Amino acid sequence: MSLKGRTILITGAGRGLGRAFAEACAAEHADTVIVADIQAEWGEATVDVLRRAGANALFLSVDLGDPKSIDGFAARLAGEVAHLDGLVNNAAIATGIGGKTFEEIEVETWDRVMAVNVRGTWLMTRAMASLLRRSKLGARIVNVASDTALWGAPRLLHYVSSKGAVIAMTRSLARELGPDGIAVNAIAPGLVLVPATDYVPEERKQLYINGRAMPRAQHPDDVTGAVTFLLGQGAAFVTGQLLPVNGGFVLN
């Protein structure tokens, strides 16, 4: 599980699962943890926590909904690091968009979700490809999907569709980047108790708890181990896979 010697980039690492991933990577002795987020205040706060724990950490702002912002991010990062050993595509629009039927979703909201969750994941991966190819340890990409795409969560069609696209993207990227020795995998968390899910109705939260093989709430620490494993040496020959991490709410 050790990430010693690895430089890891995590998008959306300002809070919630992203911050938990950053802290877990630091705890596993990653050489450098790069925090990317649209909210500078959140991102700097994460870096402060990591540095106070003794980790080498850097914050760079990025808006995944803006291709020019991603290009600018890539240029700034190339001036800071010589290579990347891991990319966690975690950033996504999830907060405050649920509850509407497919007939009620606004076109503008649909397009915004797709621009960030799907196009942004693709463009960030494309922008980081050259740095990932320079890894001497074998680079890893971990895409954060969602189990909503596995069980077909209702009243969330735009988000569910975006995460289904991320799953499909993972498999295609695994084949395209495999010859470069880059492993590409995805995880599908369940409903994790983080600030981004505070808005979720209690009824949906109870649906998850009662439907899991392990019937309890899911916390960030329940997810971080899967990510650090997929970023590490032990997952060197694992690629193109989807790992549900949801306490058995969805059983493959």
CATH number of the CATH domain containing 17: 3.40.50.720
- Please give the C-alpha separations between residue 49 and each of 27, 37, 43, 111, 112, in angstroms, as whole numbers: 12, 15, 10, 34, 31
Q: Does residue 16 form part of some domain?
A: yes
- C-alpha closest to that of 118 among 99, 137, 91: 91
Asked if the model's pLDDT at residue 69 lies above 90, the reply is yes
DSSP, res 31:
S
Range 232-245 average pLDDT: 97
Asked whether residue 251 is domain-assigned, the answer is no
Contact 220, 23 (CB under 8 A): no
Which domain covers residue 70, as residue numbers?
7-245
What is the set of active-site residues?
A: 159
Alpha-carbon torsion (237, 17, 225, 3), positive or negative: positive
Answer whether residue 60 is part of any domain: yes
Using the Cα atoms of residue 235, residue 214, residue 92 and residue 28 in order, give the sign of their dihedral.
negative
Is 34 a member of any domain? yes
Query: Is 177 domain-assigned?
Result: yes
Query: What is the average pLDDT value for the chain, to the nearest integer?
Result: 96
- Residue 106 belongs to a domain: yes
Tell me the mean pLDDT in the region 224-247: 97
Q: Binning pLDDT at 50, 70 and 90, where does residue 55 land?
A: very high
What is the pLDDT averaged over residues 146-172?
Answer: 97
Q: How confident is the model at residue 34 (pLDDT cuts 50, 70, 90)?
A: very high
Domain count, the chain: 1
The verdict on residue 23 lying in a domain is yes
